[in-house]
Amino acid sequence: MLTLFRSSFSSNPWVSRIIEHTGGYEREDVAKFHKDTSGGARIQRAGHEQPPENRIWFEMHSLYNDSLIAQMPVEAFTSAFQAAFVKELFTSSEWTEVQILGFLRRHMFNAATIATFGPRILETNPGFVDVFWEYEKYAEGLSFGLPSFLNTRARQARDRFNAQCGKWFEMADREFDWQGGDVSPDEEFEPVFGSRLSRRLAQWGKSFRFSRKTMGGVYGLIFFG
């Protein structure tokens, strides 16, 4: 995901197609990316300077750098994933035969989801895993932006998954204490949003006034990435 949105690609029309069609962002929010031609690096492109509040690409790259590459977030995710995966492995007290691929697609996905977004997103959305894998089948092809009448099933799968992500985001945004509370900005994990990456994505989207539909797509693309 970080490679996909690195600064050298920030003006690439392909990225715009991904966020609009694979992510399902609202057109009004996609336009905010088009408007910012300053690039994703700290130093703005000459002749394309933007005020700080319009630098959507730079803010996105910064949060990915701080939340995906830095040592502490990586170590925190690894620890949270291991703990969640161990619980998934011991969901049954009896010996049973399983298909490896199906087992990993469900239980490894659950562990990664809990480590990144906390347990509430699974509790809020029964069938979340199956809805994701249905979306995942079509996600890459969606980026070509075929008309809806040629791509109805794919768009429906994307919209179902994004709606579940949006439902959880709205709940988390409502319950999280944005005024400070007991969570410092750099704390790696808390029970509402989960990881710092998840919390910072919410802050980023809110700062650019993304719609609920777009925020569902923001988190949907993270799952796919």
Which residues are CB-contacts of 164 (< 8 A; sequence separation ≥ 6)? 121, 124, 125, 128, 131, 216
Q: For position 96, what pLDDT does the model report?
A: 67
Q: How far apart are CA 17 and CA 25, in angstroms?
A: 10
Q: What's the mean pLDDT in 182-193?
A: 74
Q: For position 59, what pLDDT does the model report?
A: 93
pLDDT in tens, 63-76: 888 887 778 778 88
Cα atoms in the Cβ-side hemisphere of radius 13 Å centred on 224: 28
* Model confidence band, residue 202 (pLDDT cutoffs 50, 70, 90): very high
Between 173 and 16, whose confidence is greater? 173
Specify the pTM. Answer: 0.85
What is the CA angle 37-43-36, rounded to 5? Answer: 15
Between 1 and 59, whose confidence is greater? 59
Q: For position 15, what pLDDT does the model report?
A: 81
Query: Which pair of structure tokens corresponds to residue 75?
Result: 């170590």
pLDDT at 8 over 50: no
Q: For position 220, what pLDDT does the model report?
A: 95
Closest CA to 139 of 167, 161, 121: 161
Q: For position 198, what pLDDT does the model report?
A: 94
pLDDT at 101 over 90: no
Q: For position 148, what pLDDT does the model report?
A: 82
pLDDT at 135 over 70: yes
What percent of the chain shows pLDDT beyond 90?
Answer: 57
Do 95 and 65 form a contact (C-beta atoms < 8 A)?
no
Q: For position 172, what pLDDT does the model report?
A: 96
Give me the chain's average pLDDT, please: 87
Query: Which pair of structure tokens corresponds to residue 97?
Result: 């035969």
Q: What's the mean pLDDT in 171-191?
A: 79
Q: What's the mean pLDDT in 198-212?
A: 95
